[in-house]
Amino acid sequence: MRHGFYTPSTLLRSPDLLSTLPVGTSYAPPIFFTKALPLHVAFCNYASFARNTTLAELMAIINAPSCACAAAPADCRHPSTQHVMTTSPYELLPGGREGHIAFHWDSDARFRFHPPAPPQNTVLAAMAPHVDRHAYHQSKNFPPGAFDAWPPKFLELMERYFTDHDPPTHFHWHLLSPTDICAFKVAVRGYIVTVTDKSSATFQLVCVQFYARQCYLDLTTHPLYYSPVVRAHRDAVYQAHNLRLQHLGLRYDAACRDAYYAGTIKMHKDPPSTRFLACSQNCPSTEISHCLTAVLRAVTKSFSKVWAAELPDFPMWLIDNSSGVISMLHAFNAAQFPVNPAAAHAAAPSPAVARDFSRLYTNLPHDKIRAALHALFAKCLAAEGTTHLLVTSWLPKPTTDTPVPQVHYKAQFARRTDYTPSVGSRYREHQSGDITRKITLDDFDALLDTLLDATFIEFAGLLVQQICGTPMGISPAPFIANLFLAWYEFEFLQQYNTFAPVDIPDDSTADERTAQEAQNDRNRAVRRLLREFIWTRRYLDDLLSLRNPHLEPLLKRGVGPAPGHVIHGLYPEELDIPVQQHPHLPDSDVPFLDVLICFVPVDGVCRFTTRLYDKRYQPAFLHVRLSRFIHSSSNVNEAAKRTIFISQFRRLQRIILDIDNFIFEIADLIVTLMERGYLRPQLLRQCADQLFFLPQLFLVQRRTPAYRNIMDLIRGAVQDLLPRKRRHSS
């Protein structure tokens, strides 16, 4: 049963309803609830703008002599462009700062709102077929007609209950009616509603002229990345690739619309810039991209084994989260490297360096992507002792959350006991509907090659083909970029094995022995240099290195050895990898992910500690509101809201090594949650419980008098932060 009301348990146990069942039988059917749209779908209009705007309308918007920003409040406009771009447009919203729309605007964009209760006739009509179906299944083990009287009696009692009771008001969340949504759409006409660059939960209002101009210029002024095409060319490309993949039972669905172009404005920058994305829930390449994603997941797992086997002296650079950084810092501190005499003072520049891969997803050449992933997949096949990989796809049963489920894919390297399609076959459909595909090296190349060639993006009547970089808008994009860089890192570090010293035969002449010893000395020097790269980690397009002066000259890989070296460099020359610049931070601090790595030499020994790095506290984000946590009165279940503090506590205790910063950040977390409606006593009680269950947390410091009662220090920090937070909010 799918309806918008809670069914009281007394109704299911009422004598009138039980009398319709066989004697001694009780029946409690499962209850489901139809979910409303998330706020993101209700408010954001960037998708409809990209899909439904014509090219003529787009050019009229771009070339208009003025826009609606002139009449907007000054605090909603960016100072350098005077276009509206704000996360707090309350004066432009219906009802102002205290209206229902403003309340939802401040809420998390990813969660669903409560609409007004639908008419009871609509609810009963939606319930009726489900009631009949459940009664039919329940009656299978009973005489015919045993449950025939139950459905109409149940619907009769439900109708009576709806008539006698008002719609439920057990929640405090404001209702958002279709009228409210229409009023909102009228108010934001002339603007684009999207999400912010650093928080997908925070809405952002942007001038439509500025937004349209940014997207149009990016698509039309970069001929190395995008090529304008017509729809006939797109259809021909899809048709050619469908013939190539026919033996795998995969095809590009040309009837689906291509991924659309979208942007999030980096309004914290001056002048503001844009992060561009290709978005799609169901595009022509969805099925093929999901299949390749499953393959690349299995390849990533296998490649980590290959790395560990062939490079046992080097941890894999690729990390999934900041835990990999913390583990490296612990090992670095334990090594106790001496401090450079020129950097012995407390404010010395940090030996840690963080870099960014600029436009990683659009700068990778297709030929190098093909070559790198071909070699990597071949390496994994050889390591697994097989010639192919098996991909199984199946359609899960529909559920309340996914009434139209998507096909699931899972891949694994073939074993001797696994099913293998016959010779010449790559595809088999089982009686259950599951499908098994045999992916060889040639098939992998075909899947990758077609996705690289068949990436089409549409925006307001424009249709372009991506001709360089990782395909945008599909699920395997991060895997392709990650494995591409990982292969170059693997080849670079393999030189450590290439330059291994060799034994000198006993029958060598003096000249041969001298020459070989000189060669071995050079090899040892090369290996010492490469061992400096142990302290390097990469998360997608962020690269971190510790105490490594050799990274800069070896960053790029040319045709031969790097200048002044006998070994080749790291990454392709097409990539730009500048050092991150953070002028608001001291030279001894380097941010990486959500960690601020602080260089604090002790007694002439290099040492790093960590603090939380939150971009919301940067000066550039002073006027940008970034939502972090759902409101306590939201429609998210209570269990999820109760675990917010616990999960954040575990995150902070994992990444913070400075106990004073830990105390401050825990207090700041408590105050932030209090602003979202959570109760202070409950948060402090959860904090005390976590400290009790984790006695090893800051064990050494907590045994000293200064931090013996760490809970009192947290309470004091909360008390100090409350007035400051209130002043900032006002």
Residue 508: its pLDDT value, please? 82
Query: Does 145 score more than 80 pLDDT?
Result: yes
Q: Is the pLDDT of residue 25 over 80?
A: no
672-691 burial by CB neighbour count: b if 16+ within 10 A, else e? Answer: bbbebebeeeebbebbeebb
CA 594, CA 654: separation in Å to the nearest integer? 11
Burial zone of 429 (CB within 10 Å; 0-12 exposed, 13-18 middle, 19+ buried) = exposed
Reading the block at residue 729, the tokens are: 């909010």
Q: Which pLDDT does position 96 carry in this prediction?
A: 86
Check pLDDT > 90 for residue 110.
Answer: no
- Exposed, middle or buried by CB within 10 Å (0-12, 13-18, 19+), for 554? buried
Scan for tokens 């089409």, then name that residue. 456
Residue 607's pLDDT band (boundaries 50, 70, 90)? Answer: very high
- Given a cut of 70, whether residue 728 has pLDDT beyond it is no
Spatial distance between the Cα atoms of 421 and 125, rounded to a whole number of angstroms: 49
Are 189 and 53 within 8 A, CB to CB?
Answer: no
- Alpha-carbon gap, residue 4 to 118, rounded angstroms: 7
Confidence band, pLDDT 50/70/90 cuts, at residue 4 = very low
CA distances from 531 to 99, 487, 600 (A): 61, 18, 23
Query: From CA 496, how far away is CA 536, in angstroms rounded?
Result: 15
Those residues with Cβ within 8 angstroms of residue 169's Cβ, 6 or more apart along the chain or in another chain: none
152-203 tens-digit pLDDT: 988 888 888 888 877 655 556 677 888 889 999 999 999 999 998 878 888 9
Q: Average the pLDDT over 450-469 and give the result.
A: 93
| pLDDT bracket for residue 98 (50, 70, 90) | confident
Cis before 29 (ω within 30): no
| Proportion of the chain above pLDDT 90, given as a percent | 53
Q: Given a cut of 80, is residue 342 above it in pLDDT? A: no
How buried is 314 (Cβ within 10 angstroms: 0-12 exposed, 13-18 middle, 19+ buried)? buried
Cα 410 to chain center, whole Å?
Answer: 20
pLDDT digits (tens, 9 = 90+) for 504-525: 888 888 888 888 888 899 999 9
Q: Read off the pLDDT band of 420 (50, 70, 90).
A: low
Dihedral (Cα; 305, 311, 314, 320), 10-degree rounding = -20
- What pLDDT sits at residue 575? 92
CA 370 to CA 407: how far, in whole Å? Answer: 27
Question: How far are the Cα atoms of 372, 457, 641 from residue 490, in angstroms, in the given order?
Answer: 11, 33, 43
SS (H, E, C) 177-233: CHHHHHHHHHHCCCEEEEECCCCCCCEEEEEHHHHHHHHHHHHHCCCCCEEECCHHH
Which one, of 198, 601, 585, lies nearest residue 354 by Cα?
585
Handedness of CA 298, 299, 300, 306 (dihedral sign): positive
Q: What pLDDT score does 345 carry? A: 54
For 456, the 3-state DSSP assignment is: strand
- What is the rounded CA–CA span in Å between residue 589 and residue 581? 11
More confident residue, 623 or 483: 483
pLDDT: is 433 or 151 the higher one? 151
19: tokens are 């009398």
pLDDT higher for 128 or 326? Answer: 326
- Paired tokens of 296: 């690349």
Alpha helices, H only, 391-455? 441-453
Predicted confidence (pLDDT) at residue 5 exceeds the cutoff of 60: no
Mean pLDDT of 96-122: 80
pLDDT (tens digit, 9 = 90+) per residue, 301-335? Answer: 999 999 999 999 999 999 999 999 999 999 999 99
**What pLDDT does 376 receive?**
98
For range 608-616, the mean pLDDT: 90
Give percent of the chain with pLDDT exceeding 70: 91
Backbone angle region of 592, left / alpha / beta, with phi > 0 → left and psi within -120 to 50 → alpha: beta
Any idea which residue has 């030996």 for tokens? 351
Residue with the larger pLDDT of the pair 252 and 620: 252
Report which DSSP code applies to 329. H
Per-residue pLDDT tens over the stretch 253-284: 999 999 999 988 888 888 888 888 888 878 99
Q: In sequence order, what are the residues at sequence separation of 6 or more whose Cβ sits closer than 8 angstroms to the Cβ of residue 486?
A: 303, 307, 316, 317, 318, 376
Q: Is 105 exposed, middle or buried, given 0-12, 13-18 or 19+ CB atoms closer than 10 A? A: buried
pLDDT at 116 over 90: no
DSSP assignment letter at 19? T
pLDDT at 725: 61
Average pLDDT score over residue span 652-663? 95
**Tens of pLDDT, residues 195-229:** 988 788 889 999 999 999 999 999 999 888 999 99
Mind spelling out the 3-state secondary structure of 145-168? CCCCCHHHHHHHHHHHHHHHCCCC
Question: Ranked by mean pLDDT, which of 187-201, 386-400, 649-663 comes out on top?
Answer: 649-663
Average pLDDT over residues 677-696: 94
pLDDT for res 148: 87
Residues 6+ apart with CB under 8 A from 64: 209
For residue 6, pLDDT beyond 50: no
Banded model confidence at residue 2, pLDDT cuts 50, 70, 90: very low
Ranges 104-108, 453-457, 476-480, 541-545: which has the least confidence: 104-108
pLDDT tens digits, 351-388: 999 999 988 888 888 999 999 999 999 999 999 999 99
What pLDDT does residue 151 have? 87
Place of tokens 């408010």: 43
pLDDT, the chain, mean = 87
pLDDT band at 34 (very low <50, low <70, confident <90, very high): low
